[in-house]
Chains A and B, each alone.
Chain A
Amino acid sequence: MNLFGVMDVSASALKAERVRAEVVASNMANAETTRTPEGGPYQRRHVVFEAEGGGSFQNSLMSQMSPMNQGMSDGLGGFDTGFGRMTNDLSSDVTASNGAPGGVAVTGVIADQSAPLRRYDPQHPDAGPDGFVAYPDINPLTEMTDLMGATRSYGMNASAVQAEKNMVGSSLDILK
């Protein structure tokens, strides 16, 4: 995975944070929803993030490093036979590094299992036999904080994409 692949890693983060923001928006929109197709009030949802390919980053890093070591051990700039230097020179650079290093994936959007809020309102169409209506237990402050966190992470990863683009642009300069 070269620098283009790194943009995939940051892109996965952007996607995940966007899903998180959507879930927050859904929660806030349904804060007073007492009736859902599944029956009962709306259950607060939250996202579960999981690191992708974790641990295999070690392998991909080491597979990148060890061919470099090969090139080093042949000596720097030495003119023995020339061929030996050259065959090791790039043979590694063309082999792929295995394993995608850690992006992030949304493994699920889980409904909260906490008990709903109950308010006494016998006139409400969804009132139970005891006169209580079940409302979702959604605290707008919690949701807003979550949204702010998602926004900040999104911004960070967006500037990471800019930085990666910048680096690719710099490497194009080598040939100028």
Chain B
Amino acid sequence: MMDAGTIAGVMQSAQGAAGADGFLDTAATAAANSAAVPFAGMFQTMVAQTSALDKKASQAVTGLLTGQGVEIHDAMIATQKADMAFELALQVRNKAVAAYQQMMGMQF
């Protein structure tokens, strides 16, 4: 079964590809460090955080629209962050499903 170490490996190679600092590195380290945490738990955390970011983004946009003084660039950045978090969760899910299917296809 996919363990946290493999996830870390996937993420680190992706991170190496673009050199994004601080971002995937921290996630990968955390995943590697908490090898006892099952993948399901980690994924659940990601989904929860993604939906929280999403809520913040819609709060920001609502604040912007109702003229409550939210800066435009702040609302934009919030929306972008929510998008990125969602994309990340989506990609992780895709990889996990692909790996699962690959393993299911193995003949013993």
Is there direct touching of A and B in the complex, by C-beta distance under 8 Å? yes
Interface residues of A, Cβ cutoff 8 Å to B: 1-5, 76-79, 82-83, 86-87, 89-91, 93-97, 168, 171-172, 174-175
Contacts of B67 in A (CB 8 A): 2, 4-5
Instruction: Determine if B72 and A168 form an interchain contact, defined as CB atoms under 8 angstroms apart.
Output: yes
Q: Contact at B27–A79, with CB atoms within 8 Å?
A: yes
Chain A minimum-CB-distance residue to B46: A82
Chain B interface residue count, CB cutoff 8 Å, equals: 32
Residue from B45, B52, B71 in contact with A2 in the complex, judged by beta carbons closer than 8 Å: B71
Q: Jot down 21 A-B pairs with beta carbons below 8 A, ordered by A.
A: A2-B67, A2-B71, A2-B72, A3-B71, A77-B23, A78-B26, A79-B26, A89-B56, A90-B59, A93-B63, A93-B70, A94-B68, A94-B70, A95-B68, A96-B63, A96-B70, A171-B72, A172-B76, A174-B73, A175-B76, A175-B80
Q: Do the beta carbons of A82 and B69 come within 8 Å of each other?
A: no
Instruction: For A169, give the chain B residue with the smallest CB separation.
Output: B72
* Given A89-B56, A171-B76, A174-B80, CB of A94 within 8 Å of CB of B63: yes
B77 touches A174 (CB 8 A): yes
B8 surroundings in chain A (CB, below 8 A) = none
Contact of B87 with A by CB under 8 A:
no
Q: How far is the CB of B71 from chain A (nearest CB, A)?
A: 5
Closest Cβ of chain B to A84, distance in Å, is 11
Contact of B56 among A76, A90, A175 (CB under 8 A): A90
Note all chain B residues with C-beta closer than 8 A to A94. 56, 59-60, 62-63, 68, 70
Known: A77-B23, A78-B26. A83 touches B49 (CB 8 A): yes
Q: How far is the CB of B50 from chain A (nearest CB, A)?
A: 10
Q: In this assembly, does B4 line the interface, its C-beta being within 8 Å of a C-beta of chain A?
A: no
Chain B residues near A87: list those with CB within 8 A: 52
Closest residue on chain B to residue A68 by CB atoms: B74
Question: Considering the chains assembled together, what is the distance between the CA atoms of A174 and B72 in angstroms?
Answer: 10
* A21–B62 alpha-carbon span in the complex (Å): 40
Contact indicator A77/B76 (Cβ below 8 Å): no
Which B residue sits closest to A173, measured CB to CB?
B76
- Per the bound structure, the CA–CA distance linking A175 and B61 in Å amounts to 13
Interchain CB contact under 8 A, A175 and B26: no
In the complex formed, the residue of B with least CB distance to A3 is: B72
With an 8 A cutoff between CB atoms, is B22 at the interface?
Answer: yes
